[in-house]
Amino acid sequence: MDIENLSKRFKEDGYIYIENFFDGSLMDSYHQKILSHFKKDTGYKHDMTFIEKSDTDVIPWFPQLEGETIFNIVEDDQRLQKITEKILGSGWKSLYSMVMFSNKSSNGQAWHQDCNPENKEIYNLNRLVYTMDINKSTGGELVLIPGSHKKGIIPSDSFGNEIGHEVVIEPSKGSLAILHGHLWHKVLPIHDNIRVSTNYRCVPSGTPDNITDICVYRNMMYRFSDEKILTTRD
């Protein structure tokens, strides 16, 4: 694994994607644990105003915060830690792992940025781990605009549908996608199956822990802590 080259690609494109990064049996264990949790709880955690306006059908779960230590295995993976440090520099900090579950026939996630790009030096890192195959058949593919992490705030709806050259990723089980928090990205609608990914979020040294409290969509800027639309974008 050429960490130097991966870091250069990340700085240029705002993302990297690596297939077969994690062991398949570990991913199976994770997936079964996730499915077991969501058999008990598939209720939305956000208010309906957010769900409708953001066009985002995702139910989050924070397993490490609930003592699910199996999720520490990915967190502690030395290869992942080395890539992360190369990208973020020394002193970086892990925030939490967040499982993102979408029911079948749901909308996915609309175009967004995971944190406010007002200050280009302040951002989070999304380290996405996939415990299932995601492709055209299942729906839920990851779509992004390479290099958009350098372009500031994502264009509003009035700009039109074409906001840049799209790359569509069909993540396979065991793959790793690392995304800059300012990168413009979305998830396509899900078909006749559920969709699962797990995001191990982290930040560079000195970055506030609540960096992802504000998320930017094409039609609004939203703050999760008090469920408030800060700005409506035309």
What pLDDT is stored for residue 136 in this prediction? 96
The closest alpha carbon to 21, from 92, 74, 95, belongs to: 74
Position 185 scores a pLDDT of 97
In terms of DSSP H, where are the helices of the chain?
A: 3-13, 24-40, 48-54, 72-75, 78-88
Q: C-alpha angle 89/151/110, rounded to 5°?
A: 95
Average pLDDT, the chain: 92
Of 124, 167, 121, 162, the C-alpha closest to 147 is 167
- Mean pLDDT over 90-114 rounds to 93
Model pLDDT, residue 15: 98
What confidence score (pLDDT) does residue 93 get?
Answer: 97
Q: What Rg, from alpha-carbon coordinates, does the chain have?
A: 17
Q: What is the pLDDT of residues 34-93, one digit of tens each?
A: 999 998 655 544 556 655 555 677 889 999 999 999 999 999 999 999 999 999 999 999
Q: Which is more confidently placed, 101 or 57?
A: 101
Q: Compute φ and ψ for 155, nearest 5 degrees.
A: -60, 145
Q: 133-168, pLDDT tens digit by residue?
A: 999 999 999 999 999 999 999 999 767 778 999 999
Q: Give the pLDDT of residue 63.
A: 96
Residues 6 or more apart from 67 whose CB is under 8 A from it?
Answer: none
Cβ-in-10-Å burial (0-12, 13-18, 19+) of 146 comes to: middle
Strands (DSSP E) contained in the chain are 15-18, 59-61, 93-102, 109-113, 125-129, 142-144, 167-169, 176-180, 185-187, 195-203, 214-217, 220-223, 228-232
CATH fold of 3-232 reads Jelly Rolls (2.60.120)
Q: What is the mean pLDDT of residues 11-32?
A: 98
Query: What are the domain boundaries of the chain?
Result: 3-232
DSSP states of 50-80: HHHHHT---EEE-GGGGT-GGGHHHHT-HHH
Task: Give the rounded percent of residues in the chain with a pLDDT score beyond 90.
Answer: 79
pLDDT of residue 47: 59
pLDDT at 234: 75
Calpha distance 96→143 (Å, rounded): 23
Q: What are 171-221's pLDDT values in tens digits?
A: 999 999 999 999 999 999 999 899 999 999 999 999 999 999 999 999 999
What is the C-alpha separation between 70 and 212, in angstroms, rounded?
24
- Separation CA 102–CA 193 (nearest Å): 9
Does pLDDT of 131 surpass 90? Answer: yes
